[in-house]
Amino acid sequence: MSAAALIATSAVVLAGCSASDTGGEAADLTTVSIMAPYLVTNAPSGDNEIHTALEEIAGVTLDITWVPNSSYLDKTNITLAGDDIPHVMVVQGKDPGFVRNAQAGAFWELSEYLPDYPNLATTLPEVQKAASINGEVYGVFRARDGMRAAVILRKDWLQNLGLEVPKTTDDLYEVAKAFTQNDPDGNGADDTYGLIIPKWPGAIGSNSPYDVIETWHGAGNRWTERDGELVPSFTTDEWLEAVDYEKRLVDEGLVNPDYATFDSANWNEPFLNGKGGIIIDVHSRAGVLMSLLKESDPDSFQNYVEITGNLEGPDGVLHAHPTTGYSGFLAIPKTNVRTEAELRAVLEVLNNMNSTEAGALLNNGIEGTTYTLDGDLAVAVDSAPQALKDAVLSYSQLGTNVTGFQGYLPKQPTEYEQEMYDKRKAIEESDLESAEYDPAAAFVSKTYVSKGAQLDTIIADARIQYIAGQIDRDGLTDAIALWRSSGGDAVIAEINELASQNN
Amino acid sequence: MVALDTAVAASTALDTRPPARRRGARAHFTQFKWLYLLLLPGAIYFALFRYGPMYGAVIAFKDYVPFLGINDSPWVGWAHFEDFFASPDFPRLLANTLILALLSLLVAFPLTIVVALLLNELRVTMVKRSVQTLIYIPHFLSWTVVASLTYLLFALDIGPLFQLINGVLGTNIDFLTDPGWFRPIIVLQDIWKNTGWGTIIFLAALAGVDQEQYEAAIIDGAGRFQRVWHITIPSIMPTIIVMLVLQMGQVLNTGFEQIYLMTNALNRSVADVFDTYVYFMGITQGSYSYSTAVGLFKAIVGVVLIFGANWLARRFNQTGIF
């Protein structure tokens, strides 16, 4: 580490002498290979307009291997075990496999290098820290909105019952109760419920409606600080209080009864069909709901969706539930980027790829072809070829935006949607001030890497079992004790040790 | 084809010579070289695609990191096995796996034989053929489709089977989340999907039963059930035993997809089996070495059970498979 730091420091000094604005000697690299996931049906073809334009900005030939998102994790590990390793790899998160590889020395540690590159020197240092492994930066993170949590409600139901948009968790309970019991659709039948909660694919701390409600109650966000020590949220009294609140919603029938098995892919349906009236998820789902409603009911679609942000807890304080602020990173494996000069060459390319010019290309596509500008907003061109529209979505996977969002925000198709979009942005901005961040986000404990998924499942299952009435309060406490004895205590000790080393 | 003819011709031509083994291995190979040549493609296939990849199983004894590769990852000996046997998951996984395996062995396996016997008794060929085709169809549906159908049929409050069963019993059971109903549903799905297909091999065995024995039995005044009991079942016993022995090797393979798709937070305590655990630890958790150790343990148990069942079969004077 000290040797690396020394080299890095001398590189910075050299940079000062050589008058190069990106610092250090960069090797001559004509082709940069990149591995990235694509989330649409087809991978972009190799010679599309976006690719050509991006190569021009990057200054090198780009050899991109597109891998379907569903098999991306497998492909990452297979690639790392083989010989043909790209210069740059999109890594989708700090999953245990990545951590093991990184700690075995598979990737360049970048914290000493990034400040030399104006477009890679992040303006969001806390996000870069959260994306690091115990402070070691193994990639250029891909920035995401810091605040997305939202409550989406049936606007017509609120109006029919003369209810206000909820501001606190108590309000939410009252609205859910009224939506269930007071016939909000006025059809004279008892056929509605309040909250729609799906079966959640992840365990605890995976932004499920449960997690969000618990953060609102002041239980923290995955981890929280109590008496100077970092502890998991579910060891707090506020967490138990929040789970009791969730149980009350379920017990009183204010939630869809199949919450333990309801497929999250169908989450929108009860809302659209007028069965359930509240979704706790992210703001973008409101946009999806509005466009679905617009398709089926273009004349009055503006009457159904209401949004609000995070809710105040019973303590009267707003504990907003933020995102991690990033979605994986661009990591540089050491196998094919062997020298520091080569690393600098690759970083220069990444620096070019996060310029304002590249940002518009990666996020919006090609002006005049996929979008036109209306002031600062991008208006999507509907007649653009589908392959090119899909390509924009794929190439956006390469965007990092570590110095703030580099593209143009989309202009909404109707005035009402624009109004809702602006409202969303305003809510996100004000909620961000009350964000409850995960104080342990940067820390990766050894025990958690080997047992984390199992440990998390213990708690997530016990939570649902308690809510369903399969176990009582003692059973829930037993599960937490089991979590502790199965390795949880070691995780707590390791996280706190890492925290004290890193402060 | 030409090679085969030559080989057969060669071996028959040499039949008059003294047995090969007396004249040493070399002469043996010279004598049967064409047969061995014929064997070669199969042997190469097995060496390359079956035995070769088994080399990868060494990662069960290493701390495998993809970046370091199989050879350079550090050795850890039996550590992963020790961790696994000491973990609180082990007894639960073993119990869940064995119970599901036993249920399948005791319910689904005999049912296949019963269905085959019933089909065999059908005398109208048209009916027999139609029934056969109909009960084969579910075999071609993927587990995903079977699971979706189950979810639809048993959906809380609205599923037809949910309404029917709870209506008749006057209960309010949520079949999809009640841990007590998990195993029955898994076994029912298994029966629905695989019973028809499983009858094929028994029907083939039934076709080979000596018809004269039936005629003799009829003359002796044996009824239908007596004929089935005293002629049909003993005749297909070797097939039943072979299928049973093979089934024993699959005991711990409970079928990942089926169980994974039917698991949720409320029934996980009875649903976790070795297969889902290997997926969970290996793929989601990236513990390749650990999950390989679990998989290896499973394979070894399978081999032991096959040999054990085979030994038992021979002891009771039945033909084993080897």
- What pLDDT, in 10s, does the model give residues B228-247? 999 999 999 888 988 888 88
Distance of CA B168 to the CA centre of its chain: 36
Give the residue, B309 or A184, on which the prediction is more confident.
A184
CATH number, domain of B254, equals 1.10.3720.10
Query: A275 at the B interface (CB within 8 A)?
Result: no
Average confidence score pLDDT of chain B: 86
Which of these ranges, A15-19, A129-133, A167-171, B213-217, has the smallest mean pLDDT? A15-19
Residue A21's pLDDT is: 44
Report chain A residues whose CB lies below 8 A from the CB of B67: 80-81, 101, 104-106, 333, 335
A296 interface with B at CB cutoff 8 Å: no
Q: Which two tokens stand for residue B91?
A: 């007894």
Would you place residue B316 in the very low, low, confident or very high pLDDT band (cuts 50, 70, 90)?
confident
Helices (H), B105-232: 109-121, 125-136, 143-154, 160-169, 179-207, 211-219, 224-227
pLDDT value, residue B320 = 65
Q: How many domains does the structure of chain B reveal?
A: 1
What are the φ/ψ torsions at residue B62 (nearest 5 degrees)? -125, 170
Q: What is the pLDDT of residue B13?
A: 45
Q: Given this model, what pLDDT does residue B2 score?
A: 41
Q: Which amino acid is at B46?
A: F
How far is B259 from B254, CA to CA, in rounded Å?
8
Banded model confidence at residue B87, pLDDT cuts 50, 70, 90: confident
Query: Does residue B222 lie within any of the structural domains?
Result: yes
HSE-CB for A415 with a 13 A CA cutoff: 0
CATH 3.40.190.10 residue ranges of chain A are: 31-144+326-411, 149-321+437-502
- pLDDT tens string A70-110: 889 888 888 888 888 999 999 999 988 899 999 999 999 99
In this prediction, residue B271 has a pLDDT band, given cuts at 50, 70 and 90, of very high
Beta carbons of A77 and B286 less than 8 Å apart: yes
Q: Which helix (H) or strand (E) holds B249?
A: helix B233-249
B66, B268, B281: residue with CB nearest A77: B66
Q: Which residue spans within A138-245 are E strands per DSSP? A: 140-143, 149-154, 193-195, 223-226, 229-232
pLDDT band at B5 (very low <50, low <70, confident <90, very high): very low
Chain B residues with CB-CB distance to A106 below 8 A: 65, 67
Give contacts of B179 with chain A, Cβ < 8 Å: 470
User: Which of A261, A451, A461, A476 should one mutate to test binding to chain B, selecting the residue with the greatest count of B CBs within 10 A?
Assistant: A261
Query: Which B residues 42-101 touch A at CB under 8 Å?
Result: 65-70, 88-89
Amino acid at B272: D
Interface test with chain A among B55, B58, B59, B65, by most A beta carbons within 10 Å: B65
- Cβ distance of B151 and A261 shorter than 8 Å: yes
* pLDDT at residue B113 greater than cutoff 60: yes
d(CA B82, CA B79): 5
Q: What is the pLDDT of residues A107-160, one digit of tens each?
A: 999 999 999 999 999 999 999 999 999 999 999 999 999 999 999 999 999 999
Q: Which residue of B has its CA nearest to A258?
A: B156
Q: Which residues of B touch A464 (CB under 8 A)?
A: 265-266
A359-362 own/partner pairs: CB under 8 Å, 24+ apart: A359/A399, A359/A401, A359/A405, A359/A406, A359/A407, A360/A406, A360/A407, A360/A408, A361/A50, A361/A53, A361/A54, A361/A57, A361/A395, A362/A54, A362/A392, A362/A395, A362/A396, A362/A398, A362/A399, A362/A406, A362/A407
HSE of B303 in the Cβ direction (CA atoms, 13 Å)?
A: 6
Question: Is residue A438 pLDDT above 90, yes or no?
Answer: yes
SS3 A323: coil
Q: Which residue has the higher pLDDT, B71 or A177?
A: A177
Going along A176-242, which residue ranges are E strands? 193-195, 223-226, 229-232
Residues B63-78: what's their mean pLDDT? 88
pLDDT band at residue B321 under the 50/70/90 scheme = low
B264 in contact with chain A, both atoms CB, cutoff 8 A: yes
Q: How confident is the model at residue A22 (pLDDT cuts 50, 70, 90)?
A: very low
Across chain A, what does the average pLDDT equal?
91
Residue A65: strand pairing partners: A35
Q: How far is CA A38 from the centre of its chain?
A: 17
Q: Which domain holds residue B195?
A: 88-316
How far, in Å, CA of A361 to CA of A425, rounded? Answer: 23
Q: Is the pLDDT score of B130 beyond 70?
A: yes
Interface contact B181, partner A, CB < 8 A: no
Is the predicted pLDDT of residue A219 greater than 90, yes or no?
A: yes
B44 pLDDT higher than 80: yes
- Residue B156: the pLDDT is 86
- In angstroms, rounded to a whole number, what is the distance separating the alpha carbons of residues B230 and B216? 12
3-state secondary structure of A345: helix
**Structure letter (DSSP) for residue A37:** E
Q: Tens digit of pLDDT for each residue in A167-184?
A: 999 999 999 999 999 999
CB-CB under 8 Å, A104 with B68:
yes
d(CA A122, CA B197): 61
- A92 in contact with chain B, both atoms CB, cutoff 8 A: no
Distance from CA of A64 to the nearest CA of B (A): 21
DSSP states of A360-420: HHHHH--BTTTEEEETTEEEE-TTS-HHHHHHHHHHGGG---BTB--S-EEPPSSHHHHHH
Question: A309, A320 in Cβ contact below 8 A?
Answer: yes
Q: What is the pLDDT of residues A336-379, one digit of tens each?
A: 999 999 999 999 999 999 999 999 999 999 999 999 999 999 99
Dihedral sign (CA A20, A23, A28, A34)? negative
Amino acid in position A149: A
Q: State the pLDDT confidence band at B181, using cuts at 50, 70 and 90.
A: very high
The answer to whether A106 faces chain B, any CB pair under 8 Å, is yes
φ and ψ at residue A230, rounded to 5 degrees: -85, 130
CB B60 within 8 A of CB B144: no
Q: Is residue B159 part of a domain?
A: yes
Quick count: other Cβ atoms within 10 Å of Cβ A17?
7
- At residue B319 the predicted structure's pLDDT band, cuts being 50, 70 and 90, is low
Question: Which of these, A227, A137, A234, lies nearest to A496 by C-alpha position?
Answer: A227
Lookup result for tokens 């919450």? A259
Question: Could you tell me the pTM of the whole model?
Answer: 0.86
The whole-angstrom separation of Cα B5 and Cα B240 is 36
A487 reaches B (C-beta below 8 A): no
d(CA A167, CA B124): 73
The CATH number corresponding to A31-144+326-411 among 3.40.50.2300, 3.30.70.260, 3.40.50.2000, 3.40.190.10 equals 3.40.190.10
- Residues in chain A with CB shorter than 8 Å from the CB of B266 are 260, 461, 464-465, 468, 470
Segment B101-106 shows an average pLDDT of 90
Looking at residue A127, its pLDDT comes to 95
Chain A residues in contact with B286 by the CB 8 A cut-off are: 77, 95-98, 100
**Three-state SS at A315:** coil
Q: Any idea of the CA torsion for A91, A83, A445, B87, to the nearest 10 degrees?
A: 120
Shortest Cα–Cα distance, B214 to chain A (Å): 54
Q: Is the pLDDT of residue B37 over 80?
A: yes
User: Using one digit for the tens of pLDDT, what is the confidence trace for A268-288?
Assistant: 999 999 999 999 999 999 999
Q: Distance from B151 to chain A by nearest Cα, in Å?
A: 9
The yes-or-no verdict on residue A1 having pLDDT over 50 is: no
What pLDDT digit, counting tens, does each position of A408-428 carry?
Answer: 999 999 999 999 999 999 999
Residues of B in contact with A457 (CB under 8 A): 268
Judge whether B78 lies within some domain: no
The CATH number, out of the four listed (1.10.10.10, 3.30.1330.40, 1.10.1740.10, 3.40.190.10), of the domain defined by the range A149-321+437-502: 3.40.190.10
ipTM of the prediction = 0.79
Of the candidate ranges A431-440, A460-469, B4-13, B16-25, the one whose mean pLDDT is the lowest? B4-13
Strands A377-380 and A371-374: antiparallel
3-class DSSP assignment, residue A330: strand
Structure tokens that stand for A225 in this block: 């600080």
**Are B286 and A486 a contacting pair at CB < 8 A?**
no
Are B162 and B175 in contact by the 8 Å Cβ rule? The answer is yes
Name the nearest CA neighbour of B209 among B190, B234, B191, B183.
Answer: B234
List b or e across A320-354, with b for residues whose CB sees 16 or more CB atoms inside 10 angstroms: bbbbbbbebbbbbbbbebeebebbbbbbbbbbbbb
- What is the pLDDT, as a whole number, of residue B283? 76
CA distance A114 to A121: 5
Sequence-separated contacts (24+) of A115-118 with Cβ below 8 Å: A116/A11, A116/A12, A116/A15, A116/A22, A116/A23, A116/A24, A116/A347, A117/A22, A117/A23, A117/A347, A117/A348, A117/A350, A117/A351, A118/A21, A118/A22, A118/A351, A118/A403
pLDDT of A13: 37
A196 vs B298, more confident: A196
Q: Scanning every residue of chain B, which has its alpha carbon at the shortest distance from the alpha carbon of A482?
A: B88
The answer to whether A265 faces chain B, any CB pair under 8 Å, is no
Q: Which of A106, A260, A454 sits opposite B265 (nearest CB)?
A: A260
